[in-house]
Structure 1
């Protein structure tokens, strides 16, 4: 089973250099200003909850052709057995071209989550970690910078991957600091 999804478009943004310090030791305050590039980049991602391994791919748009390329990448990464893709019912996931592509790849099956229940897809939790690692506060001038950040941000969690379990972990049990024994 693989949970797959695409977050919103990632837009290249360049931030001005950080302000320096004034001669008297105070930080110079500058207004937050950044410019956005004209090109959008889409990131496709798939998480295998059984072992926590993830696969990502960047693309110039979100359409059936790039989704099929991503499915091919997932099939190559999982050479054995059936592959169930848990995803939302986006038009590119259920288009005629995607369905005809799936006929040529009988190992891959889709399981669509209900509308309005994106929290059922474990990939959404992985995107939070990805955004914090790859995109938060970073300056990216073009699509290549986003692709490099995506590759690095995918490799780091994969190095320390563990099984993903849906839900909140149980709180730790509280240990008593002192234990008194009364003898009569």
Structure 2
């Protein structure tokens, strides 16, 4: 990375981190991203057990349905609460519909959305939509720096709570489990604080003094 690009990268990084550490008093900071596609799968019934009490081995086989579901999410670092929405595709129309959900959740004040450089986020139709909704302002993270988007960390928690080890018959089940997992995680949400927490202080049970 040449010095010019490096300085631009560091400048963008500093501005985004400042939104987390010193957010504007009159604005709500949100981190938005898409997860997916989540595809329904159907597994054949288990072969069961042999007459002599041994489990019958069978090759892993499953079928994927034609439907794909994308999960849109926006994390509010101030209190750790999340907004989610499912859509059948990832395009400008679905993204604008999700921004409408974000705007309706906070009826007043400025909204700053930290997101990546996906084409649907920068498309002509999305820019035109944002012109008609001046309360929402997008801030794009540098390319290759997804770790600056706190929504990525929430996705890891969401996968364990909603998707790990699960199979879904249709998009309706994916939508239901998304709503349920979001409600459960919001019930125990905490503020997301940027930076590494200080190590806990260890209380010494015994203290020795050495004399030379």
If the length of structure 2 is used for normalisation, what is the TM-score? 0.78
1:97 aligns with 2:125: yes
Pairing 1:88–2:124 present: no
Cα root mean square deviation, aligned: 2.1
Q: Which of 153, 158, 166 in structure 1 is aligned with 2:181?
A: 153
Q: Could you say if the C-alpha distance between residues 33 and 107 of structure 1 is closer, same or farther in structure 2, counting changes exceeding 3 Å?
A: same
Whole-angstrom CA distance in 2 between matches of 1:160 and 1:30: 41
For residues 129-161 of structure 1, what are the alpha-carbon distances to aligned partners after superposition, in whole Å with 9 as ceiling and x for unaligned? Answer: 111111111010111011011111111110011
Displacement after TM superposition at 1:103 (Å): 1.0
Q: Determine if the alignment matches structure 1 residue 62 to structure 2 residue 86.
A: no
- Give 1:117's aligned residue: 145
CA distance in 1, matches of 2:150, 2:141: 11
Distance 1:111 1:59 in 2: 23
The corresponding residue for 1:168 is 196
From 127, 140, 143, give the equivalent of 2:155.
127
Alpha-carbon separation, structure 1, partners of 2:115 and 2:58: 43
Q: What is the TM-score normalised by the length of structure 1?
A: 0.90
Which secondary structure does the structure 1 equivalent of 2:130 belong to?
Answer: helix
Cα deviation, residue 18, structure 1: 5.5
Corresponding residue pairs, total: 182
Please state how far the C-alpha of 1:27 moved relative to its aligned partner. Answer: 5.0
Instruction: Find the aligned partners of 1:170 and 1:20 in 2 and give their Cα distance.
Output: 52
Partner Cα distance (1:20, 1:171) in 2:
50
Which residue does the alignment assign to 2:7?
none
Once the two structures are TM-superposed, the CA of residue 94 in structure 1 deviates from its matched residue by 1.0
Unaligned runs of 5+ in 1: none
1:49 is matched with 77
- Name the SS for the 1:7 alignment partner: strand
**SS, match of residue 119 in structure 2:** coil
User: What is the CA–CA distance in structure 1 between the aligned matches of 2:37 and 2:174, rounded to whole Å?
Assistant: 11
Which residue does the alignment assign to 1:177? 205
In 2, distance between residues paired with 1:133 and 1:36? 22
